[in-house]
Amino acid sequence: MAVVVYYGGKWHDENPGITGPMDQAFWLASSVFDGARAIKGHAPDLDRHCERLIRSARLLLLEPKLSAKEVEALCIEGIRRFPKDAELYVKPMFFPRDGFVAPDPASTDFVLSIHDAPLPDANGYSAAITGHRRPSPDQAPTDAKASCLYPIAARALKTAADKGFDNAVMLNPDGTVAELTSANLWIAKGGIAKTPKPNGSFLAGITRGRVLELLKSVGQAVEETTLSIDDLYNADEVFSTGNYGKVLPITRIDDRHFQPGPIGKRARELYFDFAFKTKSVFDA
């Protein structure tokens, strides 16, 4: 895997060792990150990802020493180190060095990694409902893109994989549908695109928000609503939005099978039309 890492004011072409057992982030997990994409030089919504990173850092009591614009500029500099046709994952992070339980804000450090990550195909994938739930806002820092939120998703993903599925559907604390382990979830029913409404237990993603805007812009009916497990089973089509795969069809949930449908296909077309109309970082 080709990778570049910015740390300590320098660019590295390998994964540098930067933490130890006494670092608060390593020991007590007060780290945040964001994930963006660069696709053939286009980095859609990179500014939004960098702005969310800063918000996440502050929500975890960190003190970022870079602004969103400065992080964005470093991301662009790193993307330019790859070939123009590369498909990349862009991951800036803030993490603290010092602190016991609560991090010492003054010790906040920064690292950026960018690596090859080809987009997955759009043939569709499967997901299982495993019973794992996202925490409520009073149980975890659910308003931030925090690394500590991912171990429960890992358990759900392992449970689903052991059953032969590609992903898992995460539930809200009340048992309604929240999202997948790594993407936001959508259904279409009766010509309406529906996605779980933000309720504080899961992140309403940047790609989700962009797709919602794009669908509304072409007159597609969209609802942010509460979805039950039965709503998933009885949907006309199911698809996901997320940074890694952007817009992908879901062709199976438990024992229910689906075909990629017109609304999900339209969402994918609209998203990539938007993405490739953004200015290439190589033209900046």
pLDDT of residue 169: 98
Q: Euclidean distance between the first and final Cα of the chain, in Å? A: 26
3-class state of residue 13 by DSSP: coil
Average pLDDT over residues 70-90: 98
User: Across 157-207, where does the E strand assignment appear?
Assistant: 167-171, 177-180, 184-189, 192-196
Residue with tokens 């779980």: 196
3-116 against 125-274: fold identical = no
pLDDT of residue 32: 98
Average pLDDT over residues 6-26: 94
Residue with tokens 């608060």: 24
Answer yes or no: is pLDDT of 36 > 90.
yes
Which 8-state DSSP code applies to residue 206?
Answer: H
The neighbouring-strand residues paired with 88 are 38, 116
- When the pLDDT of each residue in the chain is averaged and rounded to a whole number, the result is 97
CATH class of the structural domain 3-116: alpha beta
Average pLDDT over residues 152-158: 98
- The fold of the 125-274 domain, in CATH, is D-amino Acid Aminotransferase; Chain A, domain 2 (3.20.10)
pLDDT of residue 275: 98
pLDDT in tens, 104-140: 999 999 999 999 999 999 999 999 999 999 999 999 9
Average pLDDT over residues 139-160: 97
pLDDT of residue 7: 97
pLDDT of residue 45: 98
11-20, 180-189, 228-237, 239-248: segment of lowest average pLDDT: 11-20
Residue 214 to residues 108, 189, 208, 219, 274, Cα–Cα distance (Å)? 36, 18, 10, 9, 8
Average pLDDT over residues 157-184: 98
Give the residue among 95, 105, 108, 187 at the shortest CA–CA distance from 145.
95
pLDDT of residue 1: 72
pLDDT of residue 284: 64
Q: Where are the domains of the chain?
A: 3-116, 125-274
Average pLDDT over residues 138-162: 97
pTM, full prediction: 0.96
